[in-house]
Chain A
Amino acid sequence: MKKFLLVCGALFISAWGMGADKSPSPLKANFIEGSPTIKSMNALAFGPEGVLFVGDSRNARIFAIDTQDEQAGEATEIKIQQFDKVVADVLGTTADKIAIQDIAVNPISKVIYFSVHHNDGTPLLLKVVDNEIKTVPLENIKFSEVRLNDPVAEDAKDRRGRELRIWAVSDLSYHNGSVLVSGLSNQEFSSTFRSIPFPFTGKQEHSSLEVYHAAHGQFETFAPIKAFTATEVNNEPHLIASYTCTPLVVFPMNQLKPGEHVKGRTVAELGNWNTPLDIITLEKEGRQYILIANSNRALMKIKVSDIASFRDALTTPVKERAATAGVDFIALPFVNVQQLAKLDDSQFVVLQRKASGSLDLFTPGNRWL
C-alpha cells in the first residue's frame, strides 16, 4: 500500500509538473494560437521568454511571437560570407532581389533571427543555426498583436478600402515591460514614438509622443527617429535616439508620457551624408558603451558616461571634428555596416558590405569595446 501511495504520489507530482510546464507564463497568457497575417517585417526585437516582436509597417501592427526558443545557449562565432547570396540560394532567388530588413539575437539561446523582404514585397523570417539558414515557422504558432492606431487615420480609407496613410516602423525595442517603437509616416515629418505595455492588452492605451530636438539651442526642429536604444544614464532609464538628420539625442524615459511635448538633449551630430542605421548598448568591465552603425560612416563607439557628463547640449555651432560634433566617439574599423545587433552583453553581430563587395554576417568579438 505504501508502495502504491508512493507511486500515486510520484504520478501526481509528475502530472502536476507537466501541468505546470503547459500553463503559459503571464507574459504569454493572452497569446492566441494560429497563423499571424504578417505583411512586412521591418524591425525585429526580442523580449523575455523567447518572445520575438515583429514590426509590420504594411499592417501598422506589432506582432509578439512565441518562438519557443528558450533553451539557454552560448554566443558562438558566426561567419557567413556572401550572406545575401547564401540566403538567396536557400530561397531559390537571386541576391539582387532580396533585402535583409533587420537582425535580432534571442538573448536566451543566442540564435540570430533575421527578416528578409523579396522585391515583390514578400516578407520571410529566418534564423542562423550552426552557420546554416533555417526558416522560422509562422503557421499554427502562439502570438499576440497590437495595432499602431492613429487617431487621425482611423477611417482614412478611400472607397476601395485602401489604407492611404502609411506609418513605417523604423526601430523596435523591448525595455522594462514595454515595447518601444519609432516610426515615420508619409504624411508628416515629425517623430512618432510609442511605448506600448506588454503583454498587449487589446486596448490601445498607448498614444504617440511628440519628441523634438534643438539644433544649437536656436532652432526647434522635428524629424523622425531612425534608430534608438534604451539604457541607464546617471542611473535613470533614458532613450538615446538618432534622427534621420543625424543628431544623437537623449530623452529621460520618465518624461516620455502620452501627449507630452518632450524636448531631447542633443549630444552629438553624426556627420554629413550619413544616416544612422542601428544603435545597441553593450557593457564591458562595468562600463557601458553604445555602438552606432551608419550609412556613410564607420561603426561608432561612444561611452555612455560621456553622454551622461555632456551637459552642453550643443548650444552653439560646434567646433568641427571630422565633420561631426558633440561627445567623443571612436570610429571602429567597420565601414558599410548595414545591420548591427547585440549578441550578448559584450559582443555584437554585424552585416557588413566588405570592400570586395561581399555582404558578410559575422561576430567581431568583444575586443573592440
Chain B
Amino acid sequence: MVVDLQPIIYLLKPVGVFVFIGLCFSPAWSQVRLGWEHDQAAYFTFPTSLLPGEPSIEVHKKGSKSAILGKIQKIQDSIVFRPALRFEKGIEYEVYSAGNKLAYFKVPKNSHTSTYVQSVFPSVDTLPQNLLKVYIVFSSPMAENQAYDHLQLTDELGNKIPEAFLTLTPELWDEERKTFTLWFDPGRVKKHLLRHQKLGAPLEQGKNYSFVISRQWTDREGNPLKESFKKTFFVQVADTRSPDLAAWEIKVPKAGTDHKLIVSLKESLDYSLILGNMVGLSRDEQAIHGRFALVEGEKILEFTPQKPWTPGRYQLTAYHALEDLAGNNLNRLFDRDLKKETRPGTKKYHTRYFDIR
C-alpha cells in the first residue's frame, strides 16, 4: 500500500558517515540512512528487519519508470543499496518494494558560485596570427562535456567568429580538471588545407579579438562560474620561426648564492613548457634540483635552486618538442614548406652551456 502526502523532511547534517534522508512513510523507515563517500551520496542502508526475507527493492528517479542500476547487498543486519552512479545532488529518488513506494529522498545540493577563471595562457595581450593553443585555468575542478558550448572567440564588435576552435572529444583536461587546453582549428591555421583555403585563418593580423568564457560553464558540483571572463588581445604577424636556444639570454647568478637563474626566451613560449619535463638543468650529467617558473608573459624562464650555486660549467637542456605559441618546436615549424625549407632537425635535446663563477 502506498502511503503518501507527508511532507519531505531533510536532516542534512552528516551523522558519522550517514545522513538521514527524506521522509519515510512509516516511523520505521526513518531508520534509512544515506551513506557518504568523498562528499558523494554513494549508497543507502536500512535494517533487514524492515524487509524480512530476500530484499527486493527498486530505486527510481522521481517520474521515471526505469529502475536505477545498482547492487543490493545484505551486510550483517543491514541492507545496502549502492547505485552504479552515486545519487545526484538535487534529484529526488523513490524506493519501491513489490510495487509499493516505501520512501523517497532528495540529496541536498551545495549551492555556491565561487569557481572562477584564474588565468588564461598565453597571458600576454599581443599574440601571433597563427596562435595554436590556449590554456584556461580554473580555481576549482570543472564539469566535463561543456567546454565548447561556453567558449567563444569574438571580433572587435563582439561578433562570434564561427568554427574557430577544434572541438575535441575527449576534452583536454588535466588530472584535477582545473586546466583546459583549447586548440585553434588546425585545419584553418595550417596553410593549403581546404579549410584554410575556404575559411581563412581564424585570426587576422592587425585586429583585436576576445576570448569570452560564459558564466554558464559549470564546475564539478554543477554550479555556474562566479562571473563570465573576457580576455582581449591584439593580433600581430604570424610566427614562422622555431624557438632558438642559441638566442636565449642567460643571466648567470654568482657562485655561493641561491639567486635565480634568469633566462630571457626572446618570445613567449607555450605554457606547456612548465607542464612537463621540457627543460632541465644539469652539471656533469647530474640534475640540479630546484624549480622552474615561466613568468612575464611566458617570456622569462626562472630557475630557483634548492641549494646555493657552486662554481662550474652548467648545461641547460630543452626537449625538442618545446613549442612557441604557434606550435613551432625546436626541430621544425608547424607548417613546413617542403619547397623552401631545409629538413627538420633530428636532435632530441637542445642544449646551452654557461659557467658559474
Indicate if the CB atoms of B276 and A153 lie closer than 8 Å. Answer: yes
Compute how far the CA of A221 lies from the CA of B218 in the bound complex, rounded to whole angstroms: 36
Which of B49-57, B207-215, B327-335 interfaces with chain A? B327-335
> Who on chain A is nearest to B172 by CB?
A186
Indicate if the CB atoms of A275 and B166 lie closer than 8 Å. Answer: yes
Q: Does B298 contact A (CB under 8 A)?
A: no
Most chain A beta-carbon neighbours within 10 Å: one of B65, B276, B278, B337: B276
Q: Does B93 contact A (CB under 8 A)?
A: yes
Compute how far the CA of A188 lies from the CA of B181 in the bound complex, rounded to whole angstroms: 11
- Chain B, 178-215, CB within 8 A of any chain A CB: 179, 181, 183, 185-187, 190-195, 197-199
State whether A272 and B276 are in contact (beta carbons under 8 Å apart), knowing that A120-B143, A217-B338, A295-B167 are contacts in the complex.
no
Q: Does B281 contact A (CB under 8 A)?
A: no
- Chain A, 284-318, CB within 8 A of any chain B CB: 295, 317
Indicate if the CB atoms of B87 and A166 lie closer than 8 Å. Answer: no
Nearest CB on A from B338, distance (A): 6
Indicate if the CB atoms of A187 and B190 lie closer than 8 Å. Answer: no
Q: Does A156 contact B (CB under 8 A)?
A: yes
Which of B10-18, B28-36, B78-86, B237-245 interfaces with chain A? B78-86
Indicate if the CB atoms of B66 and A89 lie closer than 8 Å. Answer: yes
| Interface membership of chain A positions 273-286, coded 1 if the CB is closer than 8 angstroms to chain B and 0 otherwise | 10101000000000
Nearest CB on B from A248, distance (A): 12
- Chain A, 88-102, CB within 8 A of any chain B CB: 89-94, 97, 99, 101
Q: Does A75 contact B (CB under 8 A)?
A: no
> Who on chain B is nearest to A165 by CB?
B276
Q: Does B133 contact A (CB under 8 A)?
A: yes
Compute how far the CA of A272 lies from the CA of B91 in the bound complex, rounded to whole angstroms: 41
**For residue A223, which residues in chain B have a CB less than 8 angstroms away from its CB?**
186, 190
Q: Does B222 contact A (CB under 8 A)?
A: yes
Number of chain A residues whose Cβ lies closer than 8 Å to a Cβ of chain B: 70
State whether A269 and B193 are in contact (beta carbons under 8 Å apart), knowing that A90-B68, A133-B69, A188-B272 are contacts in the complex.
yes
Pick from B69, B88, B191, B270: contact of A90, CB below 8 A. B69
Indicate if the CB atoms of A91 and B84 lie closer than 8 Å. Answer: yes
Nearest CB on A from B132, distance (A): 6
**For residue B88, which residues in chain A have a CB less than 8 angstroms away from its CB?**
92-93, 97
**For residue A135, which residues in chain B have a CB less than 8 angstroms away from its CB?**
69, 84
| Interface membership of chain A positions 80-119, coded 1 if the CB is closer than 8 angstroms to chain B and 0 otherwise | 0000001001111110010101000000000000000111
Q: Does A124 contact B (CB under 8 A)?
A: yes
> Who on chain A is nearest to B185 by CB?
A245
Pick from B144, B166, B319: contact of A244, CB below 8 A. B166
Compute how far the CA of A325 lies from the CA of B120 in the bound complex, rounded to whole angstroms: 37
Indicate if the CB atoms of A246 and B195 lie closer than 8 Å. Answer: yes
> Who on chain B is nearest to A137 by CB?
B71
Nearest CB on B from A296, distance (A): 9
Interface residues on B, range: 35 or more
Pick from B59, B68, B277, B334: contact of A156, CB below 8 A. B277
**For residue A126, which residues in chain B have a CB less than 8 angstroms away from its CB?**
69
**For residue B93, which residues in chain A have a CB less than 8 angstroms away from its CB?**
92
Q: Does A220 contact B (CB under 8 A)?
A: yes
Nearest CB on B from A326, distance (A): 10
State whether A99 and B144 are in contact (beta carbons under 8 Å apart), knowing that A92-B59, A168-B172, A325-B194 are contacts in the complex.
yes
State whether A166 and B174 are in contact (beta carbons under 8 Å apart), knowing that A86-B66, A189-B334 are contacts in the complex.
yes
State whether A247 and B193 are in contact (beta carbons under 8 Å apart), knowing that A119-B146, A165-B275 are contacts in the complex.
yes
State whether A92 and B68 are in contact (beta carbons under 8 Å apart), knowing that A120-B143, A218-B338 are contacts in the complex.
yes
**For residue A99, which residues in chain B have a CB less than 8 angstroms away from its CB?**
144-145, 169
Pick from A190, A215, A217, A271: contact of B190, CB below 8 A. A215
Indicate if the CB atoms of A189 and B194 lie closer than 8 Å. Answer: no
**For residue A58, which residues in chain B have a CB less than 8 angstroms away from its CB?**
175
Q: Does B252 contact A (CB under 8 A)?
A: no
- Chain B, 243-294, CB within 8 A of any chain A CB: 270, 272, 274-278
Q: Does A164 contact B (CB under 8 A)?
A: yes
> Who on chain A is nearest to B68 by CB?
A92
Pick from B69, B144, B186: contact of A119, CB below 8 A. B144
Nearest CB on A from B106, distance (A): 12
Q: Does A162 contact B (CB under 8 A)?
A: yes
| Interface membership of chain B positions 150-166, coded 1 if the CB is closer than 8 angstroms to chain A and 0 otherwise | 00000000000001001
Q: List 27 A-B contacts (CB under 8 A).
A: A91-B68, A91-B83, A92-B88, A119-B218, A119-B222, A135-B84, A155-B277, A156-B277, A162-B174, A162-B175, A164-B275, A165-B272, A165-B275, A165-B276, A166-B174, A169-B170, A186-B179, A187-B270, A188-B323, A189-B334, A218-B192, A218-B339, A219-B337, A244-B168, A246-B193, A269-B193, A269-B194
User: Can you name 6 extra interface pairs (CB under 8 A) apart from A121-B220, A325-B194?
Assistant: A40-B170, A166-B173, A186-B272, A190-B321, A244-B166, A246-B194
**Which A residues are within 8 Å of any B CB, using their own CB?**
40, 42, 57-58, 86, 89-94, 97, 99, 101, 117-122, 124, 126, 133-135, 152-156, 162-166, 168-170, 184, 186-190, 214-223, 244-247, 269, 271-273, 275, 277, 295, 317, 320, 323-325
**Which B residues are within 8 Å of any A CB, using their own CB?**
59, 61, 64-69, 83-88, 91, 93, 132-133, 135, 141, 143-146, 163, 166-170, 172-177, 179, 181, 183, 185-187, 190-195, 197-199, 218, 220-222, 270, 272, 274-278, 319, 321, 323, 327, 329, 332, 334-339, 344
